[in-house]
Amino acid sequence: MFRLATPADISESDLVERCRSNDRSAQRLLYDRYKRAMYTTAFRILNDYDNANDALQDAFVDVFRNLDQFSFRSTLGAWIKTIVIRQALRKQQLEGRFLTLDESAHDQPVVVRDTLTGAELDTAIRSLPDGARTVFLLVEVEGYGHKEVAEMLGIAEGTSKSQVNYARKLLRQRLS
């Protein structure tokens, strides 16, 4: 039986090529494919709906402006996520948001109760101070190393570690 191609059937490489040719329907499809996940990433960093929407919009403008530079060394989603994170960090204006903390207690795991819900965890993470939340999300959720986070944010690697430790400490307190 013959089946019509759907937007989900379009390969990543075909989608990129169509977008590079200024095909508006392909650009809309690319946006629709990635907007939800990318908005979530921006919102987690910014903790503000309007700022996350602004960062998302600015990020997709950058995506379409720079799509010729995408070389398929990673997935399209990973490339877009990097742009979204950078836009969110710009939006956050990170100067002065990082505290110097004791480095002796780094890398202590957070132990939480078995009945913790995703909503409770999300609320606890969103309640963290901006700097601690940003570094925690980049390290613990997005999987960046402390060195990468330090370079991205223009902070010392020790500050990155301190912020994660501080975030974990606050999460332990808030989730216990």
pLDDT at 7: 61
- CATH number for the domain formed by residue range(s) 103-175: 1.10.10.10
pLDDT at 2: 44
- Asked if 84 contacts 149 with a C-beta cutoff of 8 angstroms, the reply is no
Domain edges within the chain = 7-92, 103-175
CA distance 24 to 20: 10
The alpha carbon dihedral of 108, 113, 117, 122 has a sign of negative
Q: What is the pTM of this model?
A: 0.67
What kind of architecture, by CATH, is found in domain 7-92? Orthogonal Bundle (1.10)
Lowest-pLDDT range of 19-33, 45-59, 83-97: 83-97
- Asked if 43 contacts 83 with a C-beta cutoff of 8 angstroms, the reply is no
Phi-psi region of 42 (alpha: psi -120 to 50; beta: other; left: phi over 0): alpha
Q: What is the mean pLDDT of residues 104-128?
A: 73
Q: What is the mean pLDDT of residues 113-126?
A: 82
